[in-house]
Amino acid sequence: MNPNTNISQELLETVDRYINETMSIDELETFENKLKNDSAFKTQVDDIKTLLLGIESQSLKEELENFHNEIPQNLVEKKSAKVRFLQFRKIAVAASLVIALGSFWFFNQNSNDKLFANYFSPDPGLATTMGENSNYEFYDAMVNYKQGDYNTAISKWQQLQSIKPENDTLNYFLGVAHLANSNENKAIIHLEKTTMQAKSAFINEAYYYLGLAYLKTNNLQLAKKNLTFSTIENSKALLSELND
Amino acid sequence: MRKVDFTYNKTDNQSDIVTAIKANDNSVLKSIYTTNYHKIEVLVLKNNGTKDHAKDIYQDAFLAVWKNVKQDKFTPQSESAIHGYLYTIAKNKWMDYLRSKDYKKTIVSDQINDFNATVTDSEATDDDILKEHRLQGVMQAFKDLGEPCKSLLKQFYFDKKSMKDIANELQLDAASTRNKKYRCMQKLREIALKIEK
């Protein structure tokens, strides 16, 4: 770096704009011409670029320590070690308890619950893709959702939703996640918000899950009403079972 | 068709991953980092290295990949292209280390096995070496730069936060924040110039 020239605030901010690609076409043209023809200017700009690259490189280098701590450690070993501690007898007792409780629950649930159980499966979710920042948080939560970690997904989406309270996509997935998490009343609030937006891409699914949510709360009237609005096959089938 | 309404201009995978890397997207960088480490650890451990060697060489390689993508010297066609590239660079760096004087001082060369590849890091010119030297100086300077300057510059240039958000956090107006950032840059430059001498 050249210690003899000084860098002005104006020049620094010009280079910021150049790097962030926020220059107007005119400004960009003038800037690039000057780079070509004025070698002192070019040296100054290169110095600034080196500073910026240094800041980013060192920041990333420090971040790598955090990444390193998040490398999954020999999962297989840990798993097999754990199983050894559980004795077969304990597993058998636990299994029979689960079966007993399960069948008790199965034979005792009322017909609405049964219908709900037959028809409800959580939305498969959206394909998670690489994107920009705000999407990242959304898709990050989507990964949790797909893994069945509804609580984490809900808390992440909730934060995004506080910024965009009426967003139909967020409300839809919050609704489905709450429903999958056996929290029908919260599901209803979010799904209602999605159905408010007639043009939403999720409108048919939203009505269907809303119908299911009302079915779970034994509110047959609203369940039927919402199911009629959905064009999904399952919705029609469930509706005809309810009308029988 | 299902659409998310806060969509971005998605073209294809290639530019997605390049865009994410250039934006220092934390989850993308972390995922690349954590996915590829074990392969390098296995390679280094098999070839007379320790876990600490593996970590050092891998982090060096990771920074090199990031820098090359950022400067358009390497444009991956897919995520797996990045994985392959990262592995190759790490492997070359480990070979260079094994061939280096530091290493040969302690180990006889016939113990070095399993390496057939002959690709070395692209031949560095004097100019490249000078540039790298300067960059290392700035990195050291930034490491030593005290707070609050370090955070301010990191938020703007690495996290790519907007000036407005940073100003809000600092409870300053935009002009003072921009001036503060400028003064931090001057401070960083002074330290870097001292290191370079």
pLDDT digit string (tens) for chain B, length 197 residues = 454 444 333 444 446 888 888 889 988 899 899 889 998 988 888 888 888 889 999 999 999 999 988 888 888 877 788 888 899 889 888 888 888 766 655 544 444 444 444 444 445 677 778 888 889 999 999 999 988 899 999 999 999 988 888 888 888 888 899 999 999 999 999 999 888 77
Cα nearest neighbour of B152 on chain A: A55
The interface pTM score, or ipTM, of the predicted complex is: 0.80
Q: Check if the beta carbon of residue A175 is closer than 8 Å to that of residue A209.
A: yes
Would you call A82 an interface residue with chain B, using a CB distance cutoff of 8 Å? no
| Yes or no, beta carbons of B34 and A130 under 8 Å apart | no
| Yes or no, beta carbons of A55 and B3 under 8 Å apart | no
Would you call B33 an interface residue with chain A, using a CB distance cutoff of 8 Å? yes
| Yes or no, beta carbons of B2 and A202 under 8 Å apart | yes
3-state SS class at B88:
helix
Number of residue pairs across A and B with CB atoms under 8 Å? 138
Cα nearest neighbour of A6 on chain B: B186
CB atoms within 10 A of CB A97: 10
Q: Check if the beta carbon of residue B90 is closer than 8 Å to that of residue B58.
A: yes
Instruction: Give tens-digit pLDDT for A25-40.
Output: 999 999 999 999 998 8
Three-state DSSP string of B56-72:
HHHHHHHHHHHHHHHCC
Would you call A42 an interface residue with chain B, using a CB distance cutoff of 8 Å? no
Distance between B194 CA and the closest CA of chain A, angstroms:
10
Nearest to A68 among B17, B55, B196 (CB): B55
Distance between A129 CA and the closest CA of chain B, angstroms:
9
Would you call B133 an interface residue with chain A, using a CB distance cutoff of 8 Å? no
**pTM exceeds 0.80, yes or no:** no
Burial A193-219 (b: 16+ CB within 10 A, else e): bbbebeebbbbebbbbbbbbbbbbeeb
CB atoms within 10 A of CB B69: 19
For B:50-69, CB contacts with A below 8 A are 55, 59, 62-63, 66-67
